[in-house]
Protein backbone atom coordinates (compact mmCIF):
# COMPACT_ATOMS: atom_id res chain seq x y z
CA UNK A 1 0.00 0.00 0.00
CA UNK A 2 1.36 3.36 -0.92
CA UNK A 3 1.23 6.57 1.05
CA UNK A 4 -1.54 7.99 -1.21
CA UNK A 5 -3.72 4.93 -0.72
CA UNK A 6 -3.22 5.16 3.04
CA UNK A 7 -4.30 8.82 3.06
CA UNK A 8 -7.29 8.01 0.85
CA UNK A 9 -8.31 5.22 3.23
CA UNK A 10 -8.05 7.61 6.21
CA UNK A 11 -10.22 10.16 4.38
CA UNK A 12 -12.85 7.54 3.58
CA UNK A 13 -12.87 6.30 7.17
CA UNK A 14 -13.20 9.88 8.44
CA UNK A 15 -16.13 10.55 6.09
CA UNK A 16 -17.83 7.33 7.22
CA UNK A 17 -17.29 8.21 10.88
CA UNK A 18 -18.80 11.67 10.36
CA UNK A 19 -21.79 10.17 8.53
CA UNK A 20 -22.38 7.69 11.37
CA UNK A 21 -22.12 10.46 13.96
CA UNK A 22 -24.62 12.58 12.04
CA UNK A 23 -27.03 9.64 11.83
CA UNK A 24 -26.65 8.99 15.55
CA UNK A 25 -27.36 12.66 16.33
CA UNK A 26 -30.49 12.45 14.18
CA UNK A 27 -31.69 9.40 16.09
CA UNK A 28 -30.88 11.08 19.39
CA UNK A 29 -32.85 14.12 18.29
CA UNK A 30 -35.84 11.97 17.38
CA UNK A 31 -35.63 10.11 20.69
CA UNK A 32 -35.38 13.40 22.56
CA UNK A 33 -38.43 14.77 20.75
CA UNK A 34 -40.38 11.62 21.60
CA UNK A 35 -39.40 11.88 25.27
CA UNK A 36 -40.47 15.54 25.31
CA UNK A 37 -43.79 14.63 23.70
CA UNK A 38 -44.41 11.92 26.30
CA UNK A 39 -43.47 14.28 29.14
CA UNK A 40 -45.85 16.94 27.82
CA UNK A 41 -48.64 14.39 27.48
CA UNK A 42 -48.05 13.20 31.07
CA UNK A 43 -48.07 16.78 32.31
CA UNK A 44 -51.31 17.52 30.45
CA UNK A 45 -53.05 14.47 31.91
CA UNK A 46 -51.82 15.21 35.43
CA UNK A 47 -52.98 18.84 35.13
CA UNK A 48 -56.43 17.66 34.12
CA UNK A 49 -56.85 15.09 36.93
CA UNK A 50 -55.20 16.86 39.89
CA UNK A 51 -56.13 20.07 41.66
CA UNK A 52 -53.46 22.75 41.99
CA UNK A 53 -52.63 21.76 45.60
CA UNK A 54 -52.36 18.08 44.68
CA UNK A 55 -50.06 18.89 41.76
CA UNK A 56 -47.85 20.96 44.06
CA UNK A 57 -47.66 18.07 46.53
CA UNK A 58 -46.74 15.66 43.76
CA UNK A 59 -44.01 18.03 42.50
CA UNK A 60 -42.53 18.29 46.01
CA UNK A 61 -42.68 14.53 46.35
CA UNK A 62 -40.92 14.17 43.01
CA UNK A 63 -38.07 16.35 44.26
CA UNK A 64 -37.62 14.17 47.34
CA UNK A 65 -38.42 10.73 45.91
CA UNK A 66 -38.43 10.79 42.09
CA UNK A 67 -38.98 7.06 41.48
CA UNK A 68 -41.83 6.85 43.98
CA UNK A 69 -43.51 9.97 42.55
CA UNK A 70 -43.19 8.60 39.02
CA UNK A 71 -44.87 5.36 40.12
CA UNK A 72 -47.72 7.35 41.65
CA UNK A 73 -48.02 9.46 38.49
CA UNK A 74 -48.14 6.29 36.38
CA UNK A 75 -50.95 4.89 38.52
CA UNK A 76 -52.93 8.14 38.36
CA UNK A 77 -52.50 8.35 34.58
CA UNK A 78 -53.60 4.73 34.25
CA UNK A 79 -56.73 5.48 36.27
CA UNK A 80 -57.47 8.53 34.14
CA UNK A 81 -56.99 6.70 30.85
CA UNK A 82 -59.24 3.84 31.98
CA UNK A 83 -61.98 6.35 32.85
CA UNK A 84 -62.08 5.44 36.54
CA UNK A 85 -61.75 9.05 37.73
CA UNK A 86 -65.01 10.97 37.81
CA UNK A 87 -63.55 14.24 39.14
CA UNK A 88 -60.24 15.89 39.93
CA UNK A 89 -58.18 14.44 42.76
CA UNK A 90 -57.83 16.86 45.66
CA UNK A 91 -54.84 17.23 47.94
CA UNK A 92 -56.59 15.27 50.70
CA UNK A 93 -57.42 12.44 48.29
CA UNK A 94 -53.82 12.39 47.07
CA UNK A 95 -52.59 12.18 50.68
CA UNK A 96 -54.87 9.17 51.22
CA UNK A 97 -53.63 7.53 48.02
CA UNK A 98 -50.03 8.07 49.16
CA UNK A 99 -50.78 6.63 52.62
CA UNK A 100 -52.41 3.53 51.14
CA UNK A 101 -49.62 3.04 48.64
CA UNK A 102 -46.92 3.36 51.31
CA UNK A 103 -48.82 1.04 53.64
CA UNK A 104 -49.16 -1.65 50.96
CA UNK A 105 -45.46 -1.34 50.09
CA UNK A 106 -44.46 -1.73 53.73
CA UNK A 107 -46.59 -4.83 54.12
CA UNK A 108 -45.05 -6.43 51.07
CA UNK A 109 -41.46 -5.77 52.06
CA UNK A 110 -41.80 -6.14 55.84
CA UNK A 111 -40.82 -9.63 56.89
CA UNK A 112 -38.94 -12.47 55.31
CA UNK A 113 -41.00 -15.65 55.27
CA UNK A 114 -39.22 -18.96 54.88
CA UNK A 115 -41.36 -21.83 53.66
CA UNK A 116 -39.83 -25.24 54.08
CA UNK A 117 -40.77 -28.42 52.40
CA UNK A 118 -41.81 -31.00 54.87
CA UNK A 119 -44.08 -31.06 57.87
CA UNK A 120 -42.32 -28.62 60.14
Between CA 34 and CA 95, with CA 66 as vertex, the angle to 5 degrees is 115
Which domains are seen in the chain, by residue range? 7-102 (1.10.8.140)
Give the pLDDT band (50/70/90) at residue 104. confident
pLDDT at residue 112, rounded to an integer: 63
Q: How many residues does the chain have?
A: 120
| pLDDT of 76 above 70 | yes
Q: Average the pLDDT over each of 36-40, 50-54, 106-110 and give the range with the smallest value.
A: 106-110
Give the pLDDT band (50/70/90) at residue 78. very high
Amino acid sequence: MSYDEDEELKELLEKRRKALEAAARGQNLEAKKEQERIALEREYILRSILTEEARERLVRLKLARPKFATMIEDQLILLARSGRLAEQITDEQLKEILRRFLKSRRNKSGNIIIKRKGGI
